[in-house]
Amino acid sequence: MDIIKLIYTHHRQAFLQMFALTLLSGALGIGTLSYINHYLLQDNQLHGGLGGFVLLLLFYFVAASVAQIQLARIGQNFIYQTQTQFVKRIMDSHDAQIQHIGKAKILASLSSDVRSLSFAFTRLPELVQGALFTLACSLYLMILSFKLFVVVAILMTAMIAGTHFVVKRHYSSFRQMRHAEDDIQSHYETTLNGHKELKLNRFRAERFYRETFLPQAQMRRDAHIQADSYHAIAINWGNSVMLGAVGVIFYLSMQYHWASLSDAATITMIVLFMRAPLTAAIGALPAIMQSQVGLQALKNLGLVDYQPHFHSDFRLPENWQRIRLQQITYAYPVQGGQHFSLQPIDLTIERGETLFLIGGNGSGKSTLSLVLSGLYTPTSGKIFVDDIEITEENREAYRQLFASVFTDFHIFEQLMDGMGNDVADEQISAWLNHLQLSDKVKIEQKRILNSKLSQGQRKRLALMIAALEQRSIMILDEWAADQDPQFRRVFYENLLPLLKNQGYTVFAISHDDKYFHHAQRIVSMKNGVLQQLDSESAKNVADENSRAA
């Protein structure tokens, strides 16, 4: 199974430890049974054997407990590793891939697949223990009575074959369940993100609930019931065969003298002793199969492999002078028969300039800013920093030149500069002043304490966070769109010049034609085609866009 291979390849030490511990507790269990048969079931040895028996029992208790505790420790470490590595892999994956997969699928994987993998790992010892116990017990049985061993082996084969038959059906239920999980996660998100709309329109709420959500929830419930039913059948089939074996052993021993009474009692004990681990092994199968489905779902996400480091060794010159885009294109994957692509773009950005990108809705402005920042890898064309071409080796270092406020920005409460160091309190209060947030935002130990602000205020906070990073180039995607007219003016007339004076290169997407004269240079985007403009033609483009709107 892939899951066992994965654990063995990536967690070999833990797996071998677990195997050895399981073996030890199994061997001690069998040893105890053999002791009972050899000493306690023989009348003449009874007195001499009791002390040794107590010692052996004590040893079994201590060793089995230590093994179990150790197994729990290994299991929890595995869960910790799986969860933390998954989050790091999300961080390292390409932004375009994350957008393509979608939040709902990733969250479903985090909550369902990572958990099922971890759960399988903790159940794996039971499977291994069950298999080892069965093997060891069979060997011991063979020594006691070969004929009874053959009978038990036939019954066990029937049991395993029956279980296998049921388990195969079980697997398809898991695949159905996992499929429903993605949809349900996305419906949870819709319920929370669209809460206001659903509250205001109860008919929409009712239709969403009845027509979209309930069918998926029902499908998941039915698949669960089916899976649980198969599981119950497998367990009870196993139990029944084992109990049947006890009856058959006594019957054959008493009626046909295949074994003495004491051997029959020991064989029965062995069979009953085997029952618990074997039932546990069968019980572990669903978790292991579920993890197999989870493992496939995780693979399908296409995240990059786990890397422990955060930084590449590559550094670009801090005093770079120009960034040059040469024949850059970017094509989104085809969706519903349509797909947008940037046409070959040539653009040079000089260090320290303030450049505006304008254009109508859907023309490709945000796409270009994402390509420029290195978050999207161009489909074709080249990017140069001075004369250094940006490739896979230095793309990570290239991204470190940028700070941004995109339209879907996130506010991180911890304030830091672009190298991850604390920023001076004076710088923080200066930016709070510039952004007229001093009375609104409380900061303690370089942490923002109240980020529950209006949308316009949150965007000001995002600008402060980006500015404090002191990266050489700043991308602002329609930053002023949520600002009131007074602060919009402050932004264009005071803040942009301030950023320029502080040495920032600003790449701003803007629809505010009133302020176009504050740009040193304006470029316009139309249907993915980029055009350089003077401020007069920029005004004409803006007029055209507003007439079209």
Question: Residues interacting with ligand ATP, by CB under 6 A?
Answer: 99, 332, 335, 340, 359, 361-367
Strands (E), 442-520: 443-444, 447-448, 473-477, 505-509
Q: Cβ of residue 332: shortest distance to ligand ATP, in angstroms?
A: 3
The minimum distance between CB 507 and ligand ATP, in angstroms, equals 13
- Joined together, the tokens standing for residue 243 give 């109990």
Candidates 398, 366, 367; CA nearest to 382 is: 398
- 18/542 with CB nearer ligand ATP: 542
User: In this structure, are residues 232 and 282 in contact, taking their beta carbons and an 8 Å threshold?
Assistant: no
**Which residue shows structure tokens 């023309």?**
363
Among 236, 252, 327, 292, smallest CA distance to 119 is for 292
Q: By C-beta, is 19 or 332 nearer to ligand ATP?
A: 332
Q: How far is the CB of 13 from ligand ATP (least distance, A)?
A: 42
- Least distance in angstroms from the C-beta of 341 to ligand ATP: 8
Q: At closest approach, how far in Å is the CB of 96 from ligand ATP?
A: 7
How far is Cα 99 from Cα 338, in angstroms, rounded to an integer? 17
Length of the chain: 549
213: which residues sit within 8 A by CB, 6+ positions away?
A: 184, 187, 191
Q: CA-CA distances (angstroms) from residue 247 to 101, 133, 233, 279?
A: 56, 21, 21, 19
CB of 525 to ligand ATP, least distance (A): 6
CB closer to ligand ATP out of 321 and 527:
527
Closer residue to ligand ATP in complex, CB, 250/332: 332
Least separation in angstroms between residue 84's CB and ligand ATP is 28
Residue 103 CB, nearest approach to ligand ATP (Å): 12
Q: Quick check: 77 and 64 in contact, CB under 8 A? A: no
Residue 372 and residue 530 in contact, taking contact as beta carbons nearer than 8 Å: no
> What is the nearest approach in angstroms of ligand ATP to the Cβ of residue 340?
3
How far apart, in whole angstroms, are the C-alpha atoms of residue 127 and residue 119? Answer: 13
Shortest Å, Cβ 482 to ligand ATP: 13
What pairs with residue 524 in β-bridges? 358, 531
Q: Which is nearer to ligand ATP, 45 or 97 (CB)?
A: 97
Q: Which is nearer to ligand ATP, 351 or 539 (CB)?
A: 539
Query: Is the CB of residue 338 less than 8 Å from the CB of residue 126?
Result: no
Q: Which is nearer to ligand ATP, 354 or 363 (CB)?
A: 363
Assigned token pair, 377? 């890898």
Classify burial at 253, counting beta carbons within 10 Å of its beta carbon; exposed 0-12, middle 13-18, buried 19 or more: buried
Q: Which residue has the tokens 């961080």?
A: 91
| Cβ nearer to ligand ATP, comparing 99 with 191 | 99
Nearer to ligand ATP, 144 or 355 (CB): 355
Nearer to ligand ATP, 67 or 368 (CB): 368
Most distant pair of Cα atoms in the chain: their distance: 113
Upper half-sphere CA count for residue 395 (Cβ side, 13 Å) = 17
Sign of CA dihedral 41, 47, 48, 49: positive
